[in-house]
Amino acid sequence: MTGLLHATAARPRVLRLAGPVLGLLSIAFAACAPQQSAPTVAEAEAFLDDAEAQLSKVSEAAGRAAWVQATYITYDTEVLAAEASRQHTELAVALANEAKRFDALVDPPTEVVRKLRLLKLALTLPAPSNAEQTAELSQIAAQLTSMYGSGSYCDEGGDCRDLGQLSRTLATNRDPQALEEAWVGWRTVSPAMRPLYQRYAALGNAGAQELGFPDLGAMWRSMYDMDPDDFAAEVDRLWDQVRPLYDKLHCHVRARLAERYGDDVVTDGKPIPASLLGNMWSQDWSNIYELVAPAGDADAGYDLSSLLEAKGYDAEKMVRTGEGFFTSLGFEPLPETFWQRSQLTKPRDRDVVCHASAWDVDNVEDLRIKMCIEPTAEDFSTIHHELGHNFYQRAYNEQSFLYLDSANDGFHEAVGDAIALSVTPKYLVGIGLLDQEPALSADLGFLLRMALDKVAFLPFGLLVDKWRWGVFSGEITPETYNAAWWELRESYQGVAPPVARSEDDFDPGAKYHVPGSTPYMRYFLAAILQFQFHRSLCALAGDDGPLHRCSIYGSEEAGKRLDEMLSMGLSRPWPDALEALTGQRQMDATAILDYFEPVSAWLDEQNAGRTCGW
């Protein structure tokens, strides 16, 4: 989803127009405003006031049309949503180009500089001003998205499987040959993308350069309130903090997989074959938990899904409980329109999008979530995550339009995830779902499963954009697209393709965000920030127990500080927002190490005598 809808699937800035929205909405059309000489600060301020008023109006219209399209899928609702989005896009593009007129302002106020920059950075994929090149880039973007969305693999017998079916094979099958076939099969959809992507990169770079950036990667990195090269160094620093924990997890998983599949499939001291990790991109290893679990398969000591069912929790009661989490922190209850307009269950009479997302349709109080809720532990946690977005959206709703978003694109997801981290046994006791907390000894399996999700993701979250930054800067040439991709995957993840790959392949294109023009670094940042937020909130709540057992439920002090950060929106550089909550001005990944300390110690024991690294 796009930032104009404030939906969860991808949380860019309010105006950031990215690949998922009807394929083309990130393309900057050739809409240059007439040039004027020596613009003044007063003219810039008037331009920004008018721009925000126009954008607010069309954003709400696009949001309402998109909501109807997502909750009542028909040909007509798709057409209406596309038209509303087109109007919003064309306005945003025209304003971004007109903002260039004020680049030469003398001594402009800080707020003017910030807002003009945000208008330019709204364009994920800016096209050159040349009309023919704009049309070409638009067509390429549509082709790339379509090639991915319609992709499938057909075996020699004519049995065809789409991404969902192939992913289920990787998640559940334990035959290495079947896993290899599914893994390779999905990557047959992407080689044809390769020449298109080469031209896409050239045109995207040209558009970014017209807006004043060295290349498209530098433009993406410029959204983080720091020099683009400094930001690249910052994410490397964060990775260095967590890599030792990842290396431990990798060592244990490889050893267990070698026990299962044999040394001829998984070799000691070498990268793990990417097809064996339970996920199409090896970014989440939780599907192979049973292969690497502790002896006796230590569990949490309770089954939350069973508890919810036994206590008669339906969709509304689950959401009301999530709302109660936030009111216990001192936040006001959700508006009555939330309950009237949200989609909490799957309707029986029409097609809808069930993927969970949080919406702020009018940028004020029209908050909603869209889910097809079942009384399960997963959905209970997801509800708390989605409501985190809604309460964030309402906290900053008094900011001016260009500031209606999180402090950087990692903050929104991190807040939702941090709230979900408080769904602990302590919280479940507090709301009457559990009678008492289980012994700490029951936590090992839970923590290992969490590590297979959260820790295993970190290097992949980093390398997707590192590859694109290299492509956009020219450091990675078209002749080495695939080789560079696998060099990064081996270096950061310690994974390798299960079969030989060549430059006839285009494996980056097998991950949606690459052909879909969606920056990926936000997910890496969110994975770091959620634990930093959680640790600080727990300290404010006075919880000095194990970090993975902490819940901030009922702490108004934690809620007060959280609201101070949320209410800033995008109005200040993200270090200011981070400091408001944590007291730190630098992102800090050591909270991940604190959270996973028990499983880290267990991994040290398991890895004794093993050869780690690759």
The 10s digit of each residue's pLDDT in 580-591 is 999 999 999 999
Domain boundaries, the chain: 3-137
Please say whether the beta carbons of 496 and 490 come within 8 A. yes
pLDDT of residue 142: 84
- What is the mean pLDDT of the segment spanning 192-198? 97
Mean pLDDT (whole number) for 194-198: 97
Q: Which of 513, 541, 553, 580 is catalytic?
A: 513
Average pLDDT, the chain: 91
Place of tokens 């050893």: 255
Residue 240 buriedness (CB in 10 A; 0-12 / 13-18 / 19+):
exposed
Residue 36 pLDDT exceeds 90: no
Which pLDDT value is given to residue 135?
A: 86
Q: What distance in Å separates the CA atoms of residue 52 and residue 71, rounded to the nearest whole number?
A: 28
Please tell me which residue in 384, 385, 412, 534 is annotated as part of the active site. Answer: 385
Catalytic residue, from 141, 206, 386, 548: name it.
386
**pLDDT tens per residue, range 458-487:** 999 999 999 999 999 999 999 999 999 999
Per-residue confidence at 18, pLDDT binned at 50, 70, 90?
very low
CA torsion 471→476→480→485, rounded to 10°?
Answer: -70
Give, for 244, the enclosing helix (H) or strand (E).
helix 228-261
Residue 523 annotated to the active site = yes
DSSP calls for 410-426: THHHHHHHHHHHT-SHH
Q: Check pLDDT > 60 for residue 415.
A: yes
User: Torsions phi, psi of 496, nearest 5?
Assistant: -140, 155
Residue 356 falls in the annotated catalytic set: yes
pLDDT score at 13: 37
Q: Is 418 a catalytic residue?
A: no
Percentage of residues in the chain having pLDDT higher than 70: 93
Residues 554, 506 contacting (CB under 8 angstroms): no
- 6, pLDDT greater than 70: no
What's the average model confidence in pLDDT over 52-60?
A: 94
Catalytic residue, candidates 52, 98, 181, 413: 413
DSSP conformation letters of 62-76: HHHHHHHHHHS--HH
SS3 8: coil
Between 135 and 410, residue with greater pLDDT: 410
Higher pLDDT, 16 or 83: 83
Helix (H, G, I), strand (E, B) or coil at 486: helix
In the set 28, 65, 356, 414, the catalytic residue is 356
The model carries a pTM of 0.92
Cα four-point dihedral sign 523, 529, 534, 535 = positive
Residue 454 predicted with pLDDT over 50: yes
Q: Residue 389 catalytic?
A: yes
Considering 302, 392, 520, 523, which one is annotated as catalytic? 523
Core vs surface per residue 324-346: b (16+ CB within 10 A) or e: ebbebbebeebeeebeebbbbee
Cα–Cα distance measured from residue 58 to residue 318, given in angstroms and rounded to the nearest whole number: 33
In DSSP notation, 251-314 reads HHHHHHHHHHH-TTTS-TTSPEEGGGSSSTTSS--GGGHHHHPPTT----SS-HHHHHHHTT--
CA distance 5 to 22: 13
Among 212-216, 292-296, 386-390, the range scoring the smallest mean pLDDT is 292-296
Apex 368 CA angle, 365 and 371, nearest 5: 175
Instruction: Please return the burial class of 468, using the count of CB atoms within 10 Å of its CB with bins 0-12, 13-18 and 19+.
Output: buried
Condensed to tens digits (0 to 9), the pLDDT of residues 127-180 reads 888 889 988 998 898 899 889 988 999 999 999 999 989 999 999 999 999 999
The one-letter amino acid code at 568 reads M
Digit-coded pLDDT (tens) for 517-576: 899 999 999 999 999 999 999 999 999 999 999 999 999 999 999 999 999 999 999 999
Tell me the per-residue pLDDT of 64-118, one tens digit each, with 9 for 90 and over: 999 998 899 888 988 888 888 878 878 888 898 899 899 989 999 999 999 999 9
Q: Tell me how far apart the alpha carbons of residues 127 and 137 are, in angstroms, rounded to a whole number.
A: 7
Apex 357 CA angle, 382 and 75, nearest 5? 140
Question: Is 386 among the residues known to form the active site?
Answer: yes
Active-site residue identified among 104, 233, 309, 355: 355
Determine which one of 6, 88, 384, 389 is catalytic. 389
Q: What is the pLDDT of residue 442?
A: 83
pLDDT band, very low/low/confident/very high, at 297 (cuts 50, 70, 90):
low
Q: CA 428, CA 551: separation in Å to the nearest integer? A: 9
Pairing relation of β-strands 357-360 and 367-370? antiparallel
Is the pLDDT at 20 greater than 60? The verdict is no
Q: Of 447, 514, 452, which is closest to residue 279 (Cα–Cα)?
A: 452
Per-residue pLDDT band for 388 (boundaries 50, 70, 90) equals very high
